Chains A and B, each alone.
Chain A
Amino acid sequence: MNLLFAVKNIIIYKEPKNNQRFELLEDEKEDMEISKPAETPEATDSNCNSDEKDSAGSPPKQFKKLIRGLIKTGEPKDRSKVTTDVKSDQNKDDVNHICKELKNNMQKVKQEFHVPTNQDIVIREFKIMQKINAFIVYVDGMVDKNTINDYILRQLMAEQKNNKNTKISVDYITDNLLAINQVIRQTDYEEIIKQILNGLTALFVEGNQECVLIESRGYEKRSVSTPLDESVIKGPQEAFTENLRTNLTLVRKIIKNKDLVTEMMPIGKAENTTCAIMHIKGITNPKIVQEVKRRISSIDIDFIAGDGGLDQLIEDHPFSLFPQILSTERPDKTASFLIDGKVAIICDGSPYASIAPITFFRFFHTSEDTTLRWQFGTFLRLIRMVAAFLATFLPGLFIALTLYHQEMIPTELLFSLSKARENIPIPTILELLVMELFFELMREAGVRLPGAIGQTLGIIGAIILGSAAVAAGIVSPILIMVVSITGLCSFAIPNYSIAFGVRIMRFIFIFFGAIAGFYGIAAGIIIFGGLACSMKSFGVPYFSPVAPKTKANHDIGIMAPPWTLKERPDFLNTNNRKRTSGTVRGWIQQANRGNGK
């Protein structure tokens, strides 16, 4: 039946689905400007919420406010900031809401967390001011125990001698007893449970239909260390960690701008992971931010492992070998993208920031380019471009030359090539594939092994096995050179994702070269080039600003002097294109004026 169905599907014509993809068009700017006055924080919030409301299964307004409140660290405690939730108009029998009886609440919490089977959950019962029954719930290991002991329990349990007759309400507790910088009142069980899992402590009080969520997070985390994937010689040596708050702080430390906005969002409908969407209001095109939020909120999956999983779920062309979201572990790089007008997505638990939209040429830029003098930066970029070219095409070109176009090899080189291959029993294509496979194996084994052993394995593998293979007459020395240069070049590509794409494409080009020589490789260029040209990253064409040609600063392949980079990339349709109000190097003008006098 399945086979019949498949055959039927092939034969029968189906109307194409009208999949309108998001496009960032220039003429939309006017619309944006019209809507600009409405973009006060309040207005944005309401818009955002209305969008979220529309999307099926999106989290309620309350929860958004709650996490937004939580992320604003360092703000003085203000009564107005303590979120006063809208009183629920729903039926009191609703099982999702807290009831007045503490016993019922405890039962519900135990049921939800599978207590006592689940031993991570701590429920501590006590009497507030030795009068009213209450209990707190938290996840062991996720909270700072000092906070709980000294600033929650000690404060709540202490007898207030001067206020013996005071009625103990949630208002009273938050205003007078808890010495904690952030507290939120919540009535919805679902939200309470999520926040408990997030590391907050929930306080339930007898006779109150509200629970107090107390900021008490204090789990173990890695300290800020040097970047592993994107190390530089000259430049900042900080990398992101697995802690979201630390990561946000690292970015904020670089961009000290009041317009840098961090919006917190649960990912998908399961909402097990939170991510932060960072952008600079007034620079980043709001349509991009909206699109990022729309895509993230529409994800319907039970679990997402970090930003890598998220990238795949929100990128435009998941089947392509070219990544459409740039992943970086460097806060300074993230900051530079944000200043350009891009959006950064940082997931809780991931030491990487995902940048969108991104174009092909940005994958070859590193932080070092800007910290070095522009001439050196240009040189490095050109080296990387050449490396990417060789890493993709060199083995394919070698195969094409040796199998199809021997007449094009200079005579002396042809002699040495044929001499080297004289005793090799296997065909060139097989020889190349075996060596490439061997190289990939060595690389993978090197990564999986602990640091020092991995490096040793690489050296041993390269030297001993390579020379042994040549001595045994299995491969020719020139092929070892081709494979080594290719491998070296692939390491010179600064972005791990695109380097991976290049590694796979290399095998495809070997195949193309083997079936039709240069003609096959040219066909491969056309097919891959066409596919890449059809791609967009969050509405921005992948090869912008070259194809399509847009006005851009000169920071593409060749790096222009920093004082000439006066504008942001045009293809991002930023709200503020200018990076400078006039002359970057004002001192030259001053000097000229001085001379004029």
Chain B
Amino acid sequence: MIKEGKFGAQEAVCLITVTITSKVFFSSPAIIAGLIGNTGWYTTLISAAVALVGFCFIYLLLKRFPGKDIVEIFDIALGRVVGFIFSGILGIYMLFISVTRVNELSEFLKVYVIPLSPNWLIIGIFIACIFTLSLLGLESIARLSKLLIYALLAGFLVVLLLGIQNYNINNLFPIFGYGLDKIAFQGIVRSSVYGEVIILAIFAKSFQGVKFIKKEGITGILLSAAIISVSVLSYSLTFPYYVVQEITAPMYAMSTLIDYGRFVQRVEPLFLYVWIIGSFISATLVFYSFIWIFCKTFRIQDKKPIIIGSCTILYATALMHKDIISIILGYVVLIRNFGSLPLFVLPLIALIAALIRKKGGNLNA
């Protein structure tokens, strides 16, 4: 059986946090500004609260089947056929997220950083990193994220602090944006932002028990909510909401405005590393989740051949997109609006099925 080793709570929290928060560097902030104006910084807290409820279902499911991961639980709770379909949906969704993330990063790099480099090279390098990390396994990805999170957080905070000179409190008004109803609706719909917390259920066996998963999940969501909220707040303070809608990557644009005298100007290099490394870890983990689900679903013992094949598929799929617009307004919107279904609703259905069919060791859960 393929083994992933075990790792501690801090590494798990780092993994979840890096995976969830990396999307703040991309187009999501611009889209959210278009939908709810300048209220994104607290709307995301509503999303986090909804995600916590969703995570409760995942936790209850895991508690009912201690020592099992979500693929095994789907099989037990729903039967082999339905379980297979559920796992398949989750796996394909994970692959879809990773493709989108590769596309987002490659397109933004092309727009902002290396406009003359061909797409095949940018995506190729990305895939090479994903391939290497996937071969090394989850334990290595977790350790890498733990090791780099200090540098990522430091870089992130430096950008936020240096950007203070451009903050304008008036940009936060009107405080309720386009209206409370829209805020509430988007807050619920966009809970999928925190949906990657399901990774804890996918790799449940690698964490030290259900109690730890609960702690790690809640901490991960809260920490991610804080980071996303602060970053959305910072660019909301920097740009008026109607300007943010036009910027493809607001956080990056914010870092280019930093100017302290003749020498300390434009700290995008610092931000660039935070951005790229965060995206690498995030995309790898999501892709690796797909590999794991695939191997578990088809009961494949050796993941290496699957990684090679899947990386080829990932590379080919990532090259297929039409343009940056199709990614931002197509894939990303799709993921944000409907992401909650595979990430939170599938485990909920499994939990209900387990309760009805009286499956699972801990019937009092």
CB distance from B29 to the nearest CB of A (A): 21
Establish whether residues B137 and A526, one from each chain, have CB atoms under 8 Å apart when the complex forms.
no
Establish whether residues A547 and B143, one from each chain, have CB atoms under 8 Å apart when the complex forms.
yes
Chain A residue at smallest Cβ distance from B130: A526
Partner of B280, one of A518, A526, A533: A526
Residues of chain B within 8 A (CB-CB) of A531 are: 132, 136, 140
B144 within 8 A of A: yes
CB distance from A309 to the nearest CB of B (A): 28
Establish whether residues B302 and A16, one from each chain, have CB atoms under 8 Å apart when the complex forms.
yes
A374 to B35, CA, bound (A): 55
Partner of B137, one of A515, A529, A534: A534
Establish whether residues A534 and B113, one from each chain, have CB atoms under 8 Å apart when the complex forms.
no
CB distance from A212 to the nearest CB of B (A): 54
A526 to B273, CA, bound (A): 11
CB distance from A25 to the nearest CB of B (A): 9
Partner of B144, one of A13, A404, A530: A530
Chain A residue at smallest Cβ distance from B264: A410
A525 to B277, CA, bound (A): 8
Residues 504 to 540 of chain A near chain B (Cβ within 8 Å): 515-520, 522-523, 525-527, 529-531, 533-534
Establish whether residues A519 and B125, one from each chain, have CB atoms under 8 Å apart when the complex forms.
yes
Establish whether residues B147 and A15, one from each chain, have CB atoms under 8 Å apart when the complex forms.
no
CB distance from B121 to the nearest CB of A (A): 7
A331 within 8 A of B: no
CB distance from B305 to the nearest CB of A (A): 6
Q: A405-B113, A410-B262, A534-B139 are in contact. Are A526 and B122 (CB under 8 A)?
A: no
Partner of A517, one of B113, B266, B277: B113
A411 within 8 A of B: yes
Residues 1 to 28 of chain A near chain B (Cβ within 8 Å): 13, 15-16
What 10 A-B pairs have minimum CB-CB distances, sorted nearest first?
A534-B140, A533-B143, A547-B146, A522-B276, A547-B143, A547-B147, A534-B136, A549-B10, A533-B144, A526-B129
Q: Is the interface of B mostly helix, strand, loop or mixed?
A: helix
Partner of A522, one of B11, B266, B280: B280
Establish whether residues A543 and B139, one from each chain, have CB atoms under 8 Å apart when the complex forms.
no
B298 within 8 A of A: no
CB distance from A327 to the nearest CB of B (A): 24
Establish whether residues B276 and A530, one from each chain, have CB atoms under 8 Å apart when the complex forms.
no
A546 to B129, CA, bound (A): 22
Chain A residue at smallest Cβ distance from B278: A522
Q: Is the interface of A mostly helix, strand, loop or mixed?
A: helix
Q: Which residues of A contact B (CB under 8 A)?
A: 13, 15-16, 401, 404-405, 407-408, 410-413, 515-520, 522-523, 525-527, 529-531, 533-534, 541, 543, 546-549
CB distance from A535 to the nearest CB of B (A): 9
CB distance from A27 to the nearest CB of B (A): 10
Residues 283 to 320 of chain B near chain A (Cβ within 8 Å): 301-302, 304-305
Residues of chain B within 8 A (CB-CB) of A530 are: 129, 132-133, 136, 140-141, 144
Establish whether residues A516 and B11, one from each chain, have CB atoms under 8 Å apart when the complex forms.
no
B8 within 8 A of A: yes
CB distance from A442 to the nearest CB of B (A): 31
B272 within 8 A of A: yes
Chain B: interface residue count, which band? 35 or more
**Interface bits B247-270 vs A (CB < 8 Å: 1, else 0):** 000000000000000110110110
A516 to B120, CA, bound (A): 12
CB distance from B1 to the nearest CB of A (A): 10
CB distance from A359 to the nearest CB of B (A): 12
Establish whether residues B140 and A533, one from each chain, have CB atoms under 8 Å apart when the complex forms.
yes
Residues of chain B within 8 A (CB-CB) of A401 are: 269
Most chain B CB within 10 A, of A518, A522, A530, A533, is at A530
Partner of B125, one of A523, A529, A549: A523
A551 to B125, CA, bound (A): 36
Establish whether residues A546 and B146, one from each chain, have CB atoms under 8 Å apart when the complex forms.
yes
A98 to B126, CA, bound (A): 69
CB distance from A517 to the nearest CB of B (A): 6
CB distance from B183 to the nearest CB of A (A): 36
CB distance from B203 to the nearest CB of A (A): 15
CB distance from A161 to the nearest CB of B (A): 76
Chain B residue at smallest Cβ distance from A546: B147
Establish whether residues B268 and A408, one from each chain, have CB atoms under 8 Å apart when the complex forms.
yes
Establish whether residues B117 and A547, one from each chain, have CB atoms under 8 Å apart when the complex forms.
no
Residues 183 to 204 of chain B near chain A (Cβ within 8 Å): none
Chain A residue at smallest Cβ distance from B150: A546
Partner of B133, one of A408, A526, A546: A526
Partner of B114, one of A404, A412, A523, A533: A404
Residues of chain A within 8 A (CB-CB) of B125 are: 515-516, 519-520, 523
CB distance from B233 to the nearest CB of A (A): 26
B109 within 8 A of A: yes
CB distance from B86 to the nearest CB of A (A): 28
Residues of chain B within 8 A (CB-CB) of A407 are: 266
A410 to B268, CA, bound (A): 12
Residues of chain B within 8 A (CB-CB) of A405 are: 113, 269
* Extra contacts besides A516-B125, A527-B129, A548-B142 (9): CB < 8 Å: A410-B263, A516-B114, A517-B114, A519-B113, A523-B126, A530-B136, A534-B143, A547-B11, A547-B146
Establish whether residues A408 and B143, one from each chain, have CB atoms under 8 Å apart when the complex forms.
no
B148 within 8 A of A: yes
Question: Can you list 8 residue pairs at the A/B interface with Cβ under 8 Å?
Answer: A13-B305, A401-B269, A515-B121, A522-B276, A526-B133, A529-B144, A547-B11, A548-B10
Residues of chain B within 8 A (CB-CB) of A522 are: 272-273, 276-277, 280
Establish whether residues A411 and B262, one from each chain, have CB atoms under 8 Å apart when the complex forms.
yes
B331 within 8 A of A: no
Residues of chain A within 8 A (CB-CB) of B144 are: 526, 529-530, 533, 547
CB distance from B318 to the nearest CB of A (A): 15
Chain B residue at smallest Cβ distance from A528: B132
Residues of chain A within 8 A (CB-CB) of B345 are: none
Q: A516-B121, A526-B133, A527-B128 are in contact. Are A548 and B269 (CB under 8 A)?
A: no
Q: A533-B140, A547-B146 are in contact. Are A519 and B277 (CB under 8 A)?
A: no
Q: A530-B132, A530-B144, A548-B8 are in contact. Are A516 and B262 (CB under 8 A)?
A: no
B176 within 8 A of A: no
CB distance from A127 to the nearest CB of B (A): 69
Q: A527-B128, A529-B144 are in contact. Are A519 and B122 (CB under 8 A)?
A: yes
Chain A residue at smallest Cβ distance from B147: A547
Residues 150 to 164 of chain B near chain A (Cβ within 8 Å): none
B93 within 8 A of A: no
A404 to B110, CA, bound (A): 12
Q: A518-B276, A543-B147, A547-B147 are in contact. Are A523 and B128 (CB under 8 A)?
A: yes
**Interface bits B6-17 vs A (CB < 8 Å: 1, else 0):** 011011000000
